[in-house]
Copies of this chain bind each other. A is one copy, B any other.
Amino acid sequence: MQAAPAPTRHDQATRLLHQCGATVTPARVRVLQLLLAADAAMSHQSLQQAAAASGHPFDKVTLYRVLDWLTGQGLVHSVAGHDRVRRFSLMNPHHAHAHFECSVCGRLFCLRGSLASAALELPPGFASDRVDITVHGRCAGCTAAATAPRSRGKDPGV
């Protein structure tokens, strides 16, 4: 009696791709797998390293193209950190959501929760489309590391 196995990340990734009716290619599946497993947004570099570490290195350009495609499909979105590097994460259901960038480790998180749409007054003739909000500060990991001295330091996650 096999208990119904929990869906693997590979399954989840494949399902996401089927849902948007496009070809399920190994590259797309693997990128989605990595993003499903991530707790923070991932840079191109960190994705490439993670893939290489798992024994299936990506071609650089293919990875860029897969990320562009996933973004175009609305499965993934990206934010540029203050280091001008784009970081990618799964599009979460909250249509508009804010981001958090840790000024210590540089990791970037999607925040969930209501963001009070700031009532900003625009100059005459300006039309607003979308508002991006990024909170800067210390993430939980870095706060803990600073509080508990000589603990094992958090790594930047590139």
Contact = CB atoms under 8 A, between A and B. Distances in A.
Interface in A100-158: 100, 103, 109, 111, 113-141, 143-144
A137 B130 contact: yes
A119 to B, nearest CB: 5
Interface residues of A, number: 40
A117 to B, nearest CB: 8
Nearest to A124: B140
Contacts of A123: 109, 111, 140
28 contacts: A80-B82, A80-B84, A84-B86, A98-B118, A98-B120, A100-B126, A111-B121, A111-B122, A113-B121, A114-B119, A116-B116, A116-B117, A116-B119, A116-B120, A118-B133, A123-B140, A125-B141, A125-B143, A126-B137, A126-B140, A127-B137, A127-B138, A127-B143, A128-B135, A129-B135, A131-B136, A132-B133, A132-B135
